[in-house]
Amino acid sequence: MPFDKFTKKVKQIKQSKDGKTLIENFVSLSALQIVGYIFPLITLPYISRVVGVSHFGDIAFATAIVMYFQTFVDWGYNFTATRDLARVRDDKNMVSTIYSTVFWSRLFLCIVSLVILTILILIIPAFRQVSLLLYFRFLVIFGYLFYADWLFQAIEKMKFITLLNITANLIFTISVFVFIREREDYILQPLLTSLGFLVSGLIAFLWIAPREGVKLKKIKFKEICKSLKYSADVFVNQAMPVLYENFSVMLLGFWGGSVANGIFDAGNKLISVVLRFVQTLSRTFFPFLARRIDKHDFFVRLNLFVSVSIALLLFIAAPFIIDIFFTEEFTNAVIVLRIISLSIPFSTLINVYGVNYLIQQGQEKILRQITVGVSLIGILISIPLIYFFSWIGAALTLALTRSMLGISITAKARKLKHRITTSNYEYREAEN
């Protein structure tokens, strides 16, 4: 599509009712990403300087472990529940039923996760050494449970919950500068971050959700089991990338120690911020595409333009960026940032063709098969790469695996799209 046609299409969308809703949701979701990632990024130079690269690596290790549990508790509901709610958003009874089912299912998974984490701390020395970090970081999961931003995304009313999140997390971001003054205070970083999510989550649960007419109902355990089975394919699809990404962090922690983890996390953390922004576009369009999948081609072009531009900028400016946010201890993070920045367009392909096409078309099983296969390859290649090349190997693992996953998903989705388009064309011809 020529550039003038592309800009004309953007203007048409901005002027439509759906376009205005998309813009409002994008602004709200972007603000949430600022709260969740940019605010911590503001504290990053201060924390890295005060606690040092070793404790910075300990925090990264604990965060990687808890990410497994967070993905487990999410169970793919961020996509399946959002998709289903977007289609019945005007039926308050159905919205309350879906919300209640997801809430009780996630609470059950939270309890299971906490039990498993406690067992791991008791039997694994490396976990026991950072047990407080793990428990403090785990509080984030309860915050997400109550916060339920997927609910407000689905009903396309993000304004109030965004303002709440900004206010709560601003307070706890400021508290980092107040309470973290010495190296030993590193233990407070995950606690303060988690409290921000927990407080805003409780307010959303007790005040904002009821204000929108959403009620928490009693749900039978049989319905919880049905719900878990229904979202299982999407859960596997979401869990496998987390598995190979955090497996790399764990291997790096075991073989390279806290310093290696600190260097890797410094470069990767900045990429995580960018990917969250790219995913904001994905989440903004997700409920819209659930109703208007015919707009997918425009969505693909928009996302690729943004992601390629950001990847080039990060690759070129990597030394300058690391120098701004970190001390000289983190100089080696430049190569980490450059390597992983190359994977940003491929991560975008995973979102636009996986989450926003295959899942929208009900092809969760196909997506699961691709994700599991490629993720297992990622886990296998991570072992020699990290063993021989330390943090550079961890960066290569992420870049290579994301690239393979993006290409594989895109090929399958485009093939499916072509088949659907051809079938629709033949149907229209037969009708005429």
For residue 432, the model assigns a pLDDT of 58
Question: What is the C-alpha separation between 365 and 49, in angstroms, rounded?
Answer: 46
User: Pick from 230, 248, 271: which residue ends a domain?
Assistant: 230
- Whether residue 156 lies inside any domain: the answer is yes
Paired tokens of 345 = 């367009």
Q: 361, 233 in Cβ contact below 8 A?
A: no
- Whether residue 1 lies inside any domain: the answer is no
For residue 403, the model assigns a pLDDT of 95
Q: Quick one: 225 and 238 in the same domain?
A: no
Paired tokens of 254 = 């075991």
Q: 319, 349 in Cβ contact below 8 A?
A: no
> How many other CB atoms are found less than 10 A from the CB of residue 211?
11
Paired tokens of 20 = 């205005």
Q: Say how many domains are in the chain.
A: 2
> How many other CB atoms are found less than 10 A from the CB of residue 308?
13
Q: Quick one: 240 and 305 in the same domain?
A: yes
Q: Quick one: 185 and 306 in the same domain?
A: no
Question: What is the C-alpha separation between 74 and 109, in angstroms, rounded?
Answer: 9
Q: Using pLDDT thresholds of 50, 70 and 90, give the confidence band for residue 81.
A: confident
Q: Looking at the predicted structure, is the pLDDT value of residue 19 above 80?
A: no
Q: Quick one: 341 and 413 in the same domain?
A: yes
Convert the pLDDT of each residue in 256-300 to its tens digit.
777 888 888 888 887 887 787 777 777 777 777 777 777 788 888
Mean pLDDT is highest, among 47-61, 112-126, 157-171, 410-424, for 112-126
Q: Quick one: 55 and 189 in the same domain?
A: yes
Q: Quick one: 221 and 308 in the same domain?
A: no
Q: Quick one: 326 and 398 in the same domain?
A: yes
Q: Looking at the predicted structure, is the pLDDT value of residue 8 above 70?
A: no
- Whether residue 203 lies inside any domain: the answer is yes
Domain interval for residue 128: 22-230
- Whether residue 16 lies inside any domain: the answer is no
Paired tokens of 12 = 């048409």
For residue 120, the model assigns a pLDDT of 92
Q: Quick one: 72 and 116 in the same domain?
A: yes
Mean pLDDT is highest, among 226-235, 324-333, 387-396, for 387-396
Q: Looking at the predicted structure, is the pLDDT value of residue 16 above 60?
A: no
R_g of the chain computed on alpha carbons: 22
For residue 114, the model assigns a pLDDT of 95
Q: Please, how many CA atoms are within 13 Å of residue 413, restricted to the half-sphere of its CB? A: 27
Q: Quick one: 213 and 291 in the same domain?
A: no
**Amino acid at residue number 89:** R
User: Pick from 201, 230, 259: which residue ends a domain?
Assistant: 230
- Whether residue 17 lies inside any domain: the answer is no
- Whether residue 95 lies inside any domain: the answer is yes
Q: Looking at the predicted structure, is the pLDDT value of residue 5 above 60?
A: no
Across the range 83-108, mean pLDDT stands at 86
Averaged confidence pLDDT in the chain: 82
Question: What is the C-alpha separation between 341 and 33, in angstroms, rounded?
Answer: 19
Q: Using pLDDT thresholds of 50, 70 and 90, give the confidence band for residue 123.
A: very high
Q: Looking at the predicted structure, is the pLDDT value of residue 15 above 60?
A: no
Q: Looking at the predicted structure, is the pLDDT value of residue 1 above 50?
A: no
CA distances (Å), 347 to each of 12, 168, 327, 338, 393, in order?
28, 30, 29, 15, 19
For residue 6, the model assigns a pLDDT of 47
- Whether residue 11 lies inside any domain: the answer is no
- Whether residue 255 lies inside any domain: the answer is yes
Across the range 249-254, mean pLDDT stands at 79
Q: By C-alpha distance, which of 70, 324, 31, 30 is closest to 169?
A: 31
Report field, pTM of the whole predicted structure over 0.85: no
Convert the pLDDT of each residue in 334-382 to its tens digit.
999 999 999 999 999 998 898 888 888 878 888 888 988 998 998 899 9
Across the range 229-243, mean pLDDT stands at 81
Q: Using pLDDT thresholds of 50, 70 and 90, give the confidence band for residue 3.
A: very low
Q: Quick one: 142 and 276 in the same domain?
A: no
Q: Using pLDDT thresholds of 50, 70 and 90, give the confidence band for residue 18.
A: low
User: Pick from 230, 250, 273: which residue ends a domain?
Assistant: 230
Q: Quick one: 71 and 204 in the same domain?
A: yes
Q: Quick one: 190 and 59 in the same domain?
A: yes
